[in-house]
Amino acid sequence: MLSSPKGIAIAVFLLAVALISVAGGALGAAFGGGFIGGAVPLILIPAELVTYIGDYQLTNTAVMFFAALLVLVVLTWLATRKLSEVPGRWQSLMEVMYEFFIGLAESTSGKAGRIFLPVATAIFLVVLFSNWLGVVPVVGTIGRVETTQEFFFHKFEKKLEENHAEALLDGLHHDVGKNGEGLGHFIESHADDKDLQKYLGKTMETYGEERFVVFDGGGVRILPLGRGEDYKLSLIDIVAYDVEDPVHPTAADVVKIAQRVDGSVAPGVTPSTEFYSANPGEYAGMEGKRVGLLVPYLRGSSTDLNMTLAIAIFAMVSVQFWGIKTLGVWGYWDKFVGNPFKRNPIDLFVGILELVGEFIKVISFTFRLFGNMFAGEILLIAMGFLFPLIGMIPFIGLELFVGFIQAIIFSVLTLMFGAFAIMPHHHPEGDHHEGEGH
Amino acid sequence: MDALGIDLPRLLTFLVGFTVIAVFLRMFLYGPIIRMLDQRADRIRDSLEAAENARAEAASSAERVEQELANARREGQELIAEARDAAGRLREQEAERTRAQVEEMLDRAREEIRRERSAAVEEVRSEFAGIAILAAERIVEQSLDESAHRELIDRVLEEGLDARNN
C-alpha cells in the first residue's frame, strides 16, 4: 500500500486526521489544543422536549420513534409489494427474519408457538429500527437551544407539582406561557410568597449546578465546536450569582433571581454586562451571548424509558394473555398460586415469587434495553468529545451490533416467556395427591 | 419517576404507537409473508411427493419392462425349443415315412420278384415238360421201355427244378 504515491497520500491524510482528532479533542485541550473539541451536551435521562402540540409534549425520542415506525411501514411496502413465491430481496430478508422466529417458536412450543410470532417479530423490528436510527450520525447533534428561562420554568413547575402547591401552580399556568415566557415577571410579582421562596430555593438547590452552554444565538443549532467545558455555566452562576443563600432566598433574593431569569433568557434580549460581574474574569467575552442547553431534535427512541417501558408492558401483557388463552384463567393461575390452602407452603412461596417475577420482568426488560442503548449513546458522545472526527467510527459499528443484539434479546425473551407461560403447571411428586382436587 | 422522565402521556405515546405498528405489521407484513411461506412449503411438499411418486412409478415401470423382457426371452426360448422339438419330430416322422415307403417299395419289389420267379418257374416247368416230352419222344423213338422212361423223366425234372432253384 505504501509503495504507490496514492497509498502514501492516503496514509498521510489518515495520519493527519488522527493527529487533528487527538490534538483537537478533549485530550488535546489539556495541553492547550482542543480547537475542535465539542461542548459535551447535557446528558439527561428524561427525553427532551421538542415542541408542544396543543397540551401534548412532543419529545425528541417520540419523533425518532415515529421515524422508526415510518421505516417499518416502508419496509413492509418494500417486502410485500411484489409478493411472490420466488421472493425478491426485501421479501427474502423478511422471510429470513420470520423463519428464524418460526424455528425458535416451533422448537420451544411446537405449532402452538405460532401465537407468539406477531408480537415477538413486531418487538424485534421496532426495537431494531429504534436502536439503529439512534446511531445515525445526525441524530443527537442537531437541536435547539433551550433557554435558562424555559429550563428553569419546567424545573420549577415540576417542584410545585411534587409538593402539591396547587395555588402557585395555577397562577404559574395562568400567567406564564408554555415555554416559560414571563416567568421572571411572575416570580417578581409573587416575591413575598413564602411558598414560592421555599420551592424556588429547592429548585436552586436541586438544579443549581446544572451546566449551561453558551451559544452565539438562537434557532436550529449544530452542536457547537469550541472549548466545551470553558463555556459552561451553572444555573446558580446565571440566575442567582449575587444571592447569599439560594436555598433559602429572601423576598429581595427572589426579585434578583427573577431579574436574572428574564434578563438572561428572554428571546432577543441581550444580557447586561453586569450580569457577569460576579465572576468578571471567568466569563469575560461572553456578553451578548445566549445561555442555555442544547436540546437535540432527534434522539434514539430506545434511550427513553417511556419507550422501553411501553414495549416491556406490551410484551408482558401479551405473555399473560397467551398463558390465559392457552391454559384458561384457572389453569394459568394454577401455575403460580392455585388454591393456596391446598398447596404445600414451599410451592406456594415459590409460586408467589414467580408471580412477582412477572412484574420484575417488565422492569428488567425496560432497563436492559434502556441501559444498553443509553450507555451506547453516551459512549458515542464521549468518543466524539475525546476524539472528534474519527473517534466515533468504530463505536458506531459496535452500537449497530449492540442494537441488533438487544432487539434479538428483547424479542426472543418475550417468546421464551410466552413458551413458559403456555406450559401447564406440573405438580411436584409430594403435592400430586392434593393437586388432584382441581 | 421524574428523574427517569417516565410520565403517562409519553408512555401512552409509545404504547399506542407500538400497538398500532404491531397490528399493522401483523396485517400487512406478518400475515402475507407467513401465508407465502406456508404456501411455498406446501408447494415444495407437493413437488417432493410428486417427484417421489414419479420416481416410484419409473422404478415400477422399469421393473415391469424388465419382467416383460424376461418373459419375452423365456417365451422366445420356449418357442425355439418347441420349434426344435417340432422339427425333430417332423424329421423323425419324415424318416419314418421314408423308411415305410422304402419298406413298402422293397416289399412290393420282393413280391414282384417272387411273382416273377414263380412265373418263371412255371414257365420253366412248362418248358421243361415240353423238353421232357420232346426228350421222351426222342427216346420213345429209340426204345419203348416204360419204366426206364419214367425214371428218366423224373430225374430230368428233378434235376431241372434243382438247377432252377439253385
The residue ranges of every structural domain in chain A are: 63-140+298-438, 142-296
Contacts 24+ apart (CB under 8 A), A22-30: A22/A387, A24/A388, A24/A389, A25/A385, A25/A386, A25/A387, A25/A388, A25/A391, A26/A228, A26/A385, A26/A386, A27/A386, A27/A387, A29/A227, A29/A228, A29/A229
Select from B7, B20, B36 the Cβ nearest to the Cβ of A85: B36
Is the distance from CB of A65 to CB of A301 less than 8 angstroms? yes
Please give the residue of chain A at the shortest CA–CA distance from B27. Answer: A118
Select from A65, A73, A98 the Cβ nearest to the Cβ of B14: A65
- Quote the minimal CA–CA distance from B29 to chain A in Å: 6
* Best A76, A367, A410 residue to mutate vs chain B (most B CBs within 10 Å): A76
Structure confidence at residue B145 (pLDDT): 64
The C-alpha R_g of chain A, in whole angstroms, comes to: 28
The whole-model pTM stands at 0.71
Structure confidence at residue B77 (pLDDT): 93
- Quote the minimal CA–CA distance from B24 to chain A in Å: 8
Structure confidence at residue A433 (pLDDT): 46
B85 in a domain, yes or no? yes
Answer yes or no: do A65 and B17 touch at CB < 8 A.
yes
Structure confidence at residue A337 (pLDDT): 85
* Chain A residues within 8 A of B26 when measuring between CB atoms: 118, 122
B114 in a domain, yes or no? yes
Structure confidence at residue A57 (pLDDT): 83
- Quote the minimal CA–CA distance from B2 to chain A in Å: 8
pLDDT in tens, A376-397: 988 888 887 778 778 888 999 9
More confident residue, B2 or A429: B2
pLDDT in tens, A291-329: 666 778 888 899 999 999 999 999 999 999 999 999 999
A148: nearest Cα among A69, A68, A210: A210
DSSP letter at A48 equals P
- Which range marks the domain in which residue B99 is found? 8-165
Is the distance from CB of A217 to CB of A290 less than 8 angstroms? yes
* Chain B residues within 8 A of A314 when measuring between CB atoms: 15, 18-19, 22
pLDDT in tens, B28-81: 999 999 888 888 889 999 999 999 999 999 999 999 999 999 999 999 999 999
DSSP letter at A32 equals T
Structure-block grid coordinates of residue A355: 408471580
B2 in a domain, yes or no? no
B42 in a domain, yes or no? yes
Read off φ and ψ for residue A140, nearest 5 degrees: 90, -10
Give the number of C-alpha atoms closer than 13 A to the C-alpha of residue A69, restricted to the C-beta side: 20
Structure confidence at residue A42 (pLDDT): 62
B120 in a domain, yes or no? yes
Please identify which residue in the block is written with the cell numbers 405460532. Answer: A114
Is the distance from CB of A189 to CB of A266 less than 8 angstroms? no
Structure confidence at residue A65 (pLDDT): 94
B58 in a domain, yes or no? yes
Q: Is A23 touching B (CB cutoff 8 A)?
A: no
Q: Count of domains in chain B? A: 1
Answer yes or no: do A119 and B33 touch at CB < 8 A.
no
More confident residue, B125 or A346: A346
* CB within 8 Å of A330: residues ≥ 6 apart: A438
Structure confidence at residue A216 (pLDDT): 56
DSSP letter at A273 equals G
Q: In which residue ranges of chain A is pLDDT below 50?
A: 217-219, 224-229, 264-278, 430-438
CA atoms B24, B26, B29, B35: torsion sign: negative
d(CA A86, CA B40): 9
Q: Is the ipTM of this complex over 0.85?
A: no
Q: What angle do CA B9, B15, B19 make, to 5 degrees?
A: 145
Is the distance from CB of B8 to CB of A307 less than 8 angstroms? no
A143: nearest Cα among A81, A249, A35, A61: A61
d(CA A271, CA A294): 19
Select from B5, B10, B29 the Cβ nearest to the Cβ of A45: B5
**DSSP of A218-237:** SSEEE--BS-GGGGEEEHHH
